Structure 1
Amino acid sequence: MPAHTHTLANGLQLAFERRATPGFSFHLRVPLGSAHDPEGQEGTAGLVEEWLYKGAGQLSARQFQDALDDLGVRRGGGSDAEATFFSGSGLGADLSAALALFANLVRRPLLPESELPVLLDLARQDLESLQDSPAERLGLAARQLIFAKSGYAHPTSGTLSGLAQITPASARTFWQRAGARGSILSVVADTEAQAVFGLTEQLFGDWQPGDAQPVKPHPYLGGAAHLPDDSQQTHFTFTGRGISPHSPDWFAWHLALTALSGGSASRLFHAVREERGLAYTVHAGPQVVGGEALLSGYAASTPQRAPETLSVMLSELRRWRQGLTQAEFGRAQNALMASTVFGSESVRSRSGGMARDLALFGRVREPGEMRAEIGTLTLEKVNAFLDSYDPGPLGLVSIGPQPLSAPQLTGSGAAHV
């Protein structure tokens, strides 16, 4: 059945899909993430997400977890640059009780001060562990290159100096910005839509709108950065311009990227790994940050062969923009079609997908609609798109003994997206 959508008077958006299943799944997205961290207190969003689970309503942290366990509810969530997420799944009869627990979690958390030092210590340990992961350090350096000093430039874990400035009062003030406006609740269950709408009104209808405003990322493409590291491998990533999620070429871009880097038959896998043995891991794909889409590529190779690895990847990017073959198009179209089928099969993935759709596209896309749109693509349409697509100047970040030269596909210099 198609998804039903509804918006409460306070701004909370609801998406519901009825499915013949013994269970339920919901996903709550609150538009307050690490990009909203107060300047000088980086890490607040990630810390608060953990702090929320230390008791809510009349329940202590232990009682809250016991209540979820008594219902057999599987919980998930976390936070990223744009939002904080909460999800739950269980047996259909327990939807009301489970959703009531999470309503208390986001609206009436206890936030006990005694728990904060432990959470701060864990956050510091998480940041320190980044030093042992070249890939994590590479990702952070890429964010800093692309997003400069905006809220998107630091990890969800924050910074050591930022964590040192967080106080119980500042963290509470941060979460007080959360509210119904811009928040999204998606539910999949075997019940009536009006029953879910009524339950949502009962639990969230008087939730204050809040004042969490979207943070524009303003990515800056081009330039290079290098992190010296006496390691056995050189890791690198490059970033270029993508296609807007609202563009009619959105699916053409994804299909073309599947042909470029979508498995063992893809161009990058064959050219870099199978044909030349340059790298075990190589890929390129879409990255969406703050509503902006970017093209991102990654590989890890020996320091001696890293320049050749980068050169081959760029050569494949140029050749890719000259068009796909009929065989490549057919494989990529089938793979993209299959991903829409499998991505909507489980109730958990479907509820998460509906929330992402509302946040990114402003509506819920039906799996059949997506398959139909993918089915209308032709080799000629995709190749015409690739002929006009320009990733622009690429920003390059590497970590290893020696820096790599900044890549260029077309044009020169750096550019704002």
Structure 2
Amino acid sequence: MNVEITRLPSGLTVVTETMPHLESVALGVWIKSGARNETENEHGIAHLLEHMAFKGTARRSARDIAEQIEDVGGELNAATSTETTSYYARVLKDHVPLAVDILADILTESEFDEEELRREKHVILQEIGAANDTPDDVVFDRFSEVAYRGQTIGRAILGTPETVKGFTPPQIRGYLSRNYTTDRMFIVAAGAVDHQVFCKQVEERFASLPTMPSATPVLEPAHYIGGDTREDRDLMDAQLLIGFEGKAYHQRDFYCSQILANILGGGMSSRLFQEVRERRGLCYSVYAFHWGFSDTGIFGVHAATNGDELPNLVPVVVEELRKASEQIHQAEIDRARAQIRAQLLMGQESPAARAGQIARQMMLYGKPIPNDEMMERLEGITTQRLTDLAGRLFFDTVPTLSAVGPIAQLPSMEEIAASLSLPGVTTKKAAG
């Protein structure tokens, strides 16, 4: 792993991985701040800021930004998540200075013009409408809202039409100055890049970044609650999500949870896929997942099926969860490890994937994690640890259920909770 790290005098961290056989470079700025860092009256502002960064600076118009990167065949994009935001580019190696210049420009000199803001609000309102028309997006948003009721971590990243319409340039600048500071930012490049040259370029162009936040960044502790939300819609299929509180990145059972999710529903050979889809034909899509955050996590099972199959589908899914708490085979662990190892190695063949991986590791652990060290963390996972974890995850905590579509035949939360031997849960009905 040819990774070099430099912490600039400003506090900004620069990380590169040189891949000399390539002709291109993937580079970007990752900020340890996302939708969760919004205040109560800022719902959706992190995502809006990400959009507005491309809408003109003191030196470039929105069209200039797009044309200048594409004139050299490059790509430029950004993304907002619950706890992070990223702005990234991919260019040929000769055009790295241009990419650095544009990224610095949009992050230090954006104007947040009133007219551009008005237009971009309209774009985001359309994005919110499109998400609300996409049931497999809605089911996850509703899930988070119920699992973490009344908390920033549970809110949809896009915001609401009401909040988005009300944002002003001063509010955007306030969020920016509070969260986009050198102590929370990592600039990462992977590909045909020289570390020292890249550091010099970054230091020159990002010199105006604030080193300290204008106010203390917001991050209220997460408190998993659980519950039930159902939205009956006239659709062809039903989207179902059953989940539990998972493990945070730094908790002992985080990697164990990743392996368990893979065994239950990580591919075509997984238990859920084979039993629910292949053997019984109860759905056309089913998978398990585990998402880690800084202080909590989500372990879930998602399925998409005809509404008439729900009474049969749910008991089978619950039974597979129960079986996982009783027996895991060593061969399943070995297969899951092999899949994770393959994903790690395949990711290293893509500079964009590698840059993103390094950035995430820097934000979470403060250092890049070598593949050998990553695999060592998985070596200590035994069948006993997995069955014990499954028992605690699925039968000692309150579940969260989210369903969208023709769900009239979906069993009640009380029935599902009883099948999991759980106490009663708080129920929230979504309007149909």
Does TM, scored on the shorter chain, surpass 0.5? yes
Name 2:185's counterpart in structure 1. 183
Name 1:325's counterpart in structure 2. 329
Q: 5 Å matches for 1:179-328?
A: 179-211=181-213, 213=217, 215-216=219-220, 218-328=222-332
Name 1:338's counterpart in structure 2. 342
After superposition, what is the alpha-carbon deviation per residue over 1:122-161, rounded to whole angstroms, capped at 9, x for unaligned?
Answer: 1112222233222222112111101212222322221111
Structure 2 CA distance for aligned equivalents of residues 241 and 398 of structure 1: 18
Contact 1:215 1:290 in 2 (8 A): no
Work out whether 1:155 is the aligned partner of 2:156: yes
> What displacement does 1:182 show?
0.9
> What displacement does 1:413 show?
4.9
Moved more, 84-93 or 74-83: 74-83
> What displacement does 1:67 show?
1.6
Amino acid aligned to 2:275: A
Contact 1:41 1:165 in 2 (8 A): no
Q: What secondary structure sits across from 1:40 in the alignment?
A: helix
Name 2:429's counterpart in structure 1. none
Contact 1:9 1:205 in 2 (8 A): no
Name 2:412's counterpart in structure 1. 405
> What displacement does 1:163 show?
1.6
Amino acid aligned to 1:131: N
> What displacement does 1:164 show?
2.5
Name 1:385's counterpart in structure 2. 386
CA shift in 2, pair 1:138/1:217, >3 Å: farther
Name 1:53's counterpart in structure 2. 54
> What displacement does 1:291 show?
4.6
Contact 1:261 1:285 in 2 (8 A): yes
Amino acid aligned to 1:102: L
Q: Report the RMSD for the aligned CA atoms in angstroms.
A: 2.3
Name 1:72's counterpart in structure 2. 73
Contact 2:287 2:303 in 1 (8 A): yes
> What displacement does 1:40 show?
3.4
After superposition, what is the alpha-carbon deviation per residue over 1:96-121, rounded to whole angstroms, capped at 9, x for unaligned?
Answer: 22112111110111222111111111
Contact 1:4 1:17 in 2 (8 A): yes
Give unmatched runs, 5+ long, in structure 2.
Answer: 427-432
Name 1:357's counterpart in structure 2. 361
Amino acid aligned to 2:159: G
CA shift in 2, pair 1:388/1:191, >3 Å: closer
CA shift in 2, pair 1:314/1:127, >3 Å: same
Name 1:19's counterpart in structure 2. 19
Contact 1:23 1:92 in 2 (8 A): yes
> What displacement does 1:345 show?
1.4
Moved more, 202-211 or 115-124: 202-211
Normalising to structure 1: TM-score of the pair? 0.91
> What displacement does 1:70 show?
2.6
> What displacement does 1:401 show?
3.6
Give unmatched runs, 5+ long, in structure 1.
Answer: none
Structure 2 CA distance for aligned equivalents of residues 49 and 143 of structure 1: 22
> What displacement does 1:10 show?
3.4
After superposition, what is the alpha-carbon deviation per residue over 1:302-346, rounded to whole angstroms, capped at 9, x for unaligned?
Answer: 223213212111110111122322332332222122111112211
Amino acid aligned to 2:270: S
Q: What secondary structure sits across from 2:183 in the alignment?
A: coil
Contact 1:68 1:98 in 2 (8 A): yes
Q: Identity of paired residues, percent? A: 22
Aligned residues between the structures:
412
Q: What secondary structure sits across from 1:283 in the alignment?
A: strand
